[in-house]
Structure 1
Amino acid sequence: MKISDCKHYPKNPAKPNADKCEGGDPDPELRVCLTCGHVGCCDSNIFQHAKNHAKETGHAVMAYYPTDEFSPIWCYEHNDYLES
């Protein structure tokens, strides 16, 4: 799905609030919420802090962290990767 077709993608993507999982898990596979900058562990982790953050807040779009211009972006509402 294209980023431009996703109504959940924020107009001004947020910068990460932390460099580790804000839920306290040491998992190296992290995701950053592009709405508020929350950093959480990925879905393959038992705690799924990023996914839980999306459910609790409605912030559906996450990027892999650390983030760069090639980082995959995921929308939990569409259950799909977003492409430019």
Structure 2
Amino acid sequence: MPRCAHVDGLPAAQPEPPICEECLALGRPWGRLLVCLTCGWVACSDDAQGGHARAHYQETDHPVAGDLEPGSTWRWCFVHRRTV
């Protein structure tokens, strides 16, 4: 995978509960969940109606999210728009 400086120095964020609070509030189902690797916020990916993980990035500038699935090493950099 390409190197991304946004991954360097990420804090050890603890994920919040495995639900998308935004979708829950709207009464919508969510698909794949992502965790913000800066603060631990959990939200739905762009595969869902809301795309709340991207919205979190746009609101906070927290650049990297990871798949919430146990054992997954997949990470997405919103700045570079690619896996890292």
Q: TM-score range by the shorter chain?
A: 0.7 to 0.9
Is contact 2:57–2:63 with CA below 8 Å preserved after alignment? yes
Q: Provide the aligned length of Structure 1 versus Structure 2.
A: 78
Q: Give, in whole Å, the separation in 2 of the partners of 1:41 and 1:31.
A: 6
Cα–Cα, structure 1 residues 32 and 67, in superposed 2: closer, same or farther, change >3 Å? farther
Identity %: 33
1:27 and 2:30 equivalent? yes
TM-score (norm 2): 0.80
Unaligned stretches of 5+ residues in structure 2: none
TM-score (norm 1): 0.80
Q: Which runs of 4+ in 1 moved over 6 A?
A: none
Greater C-alpha Rg: 2
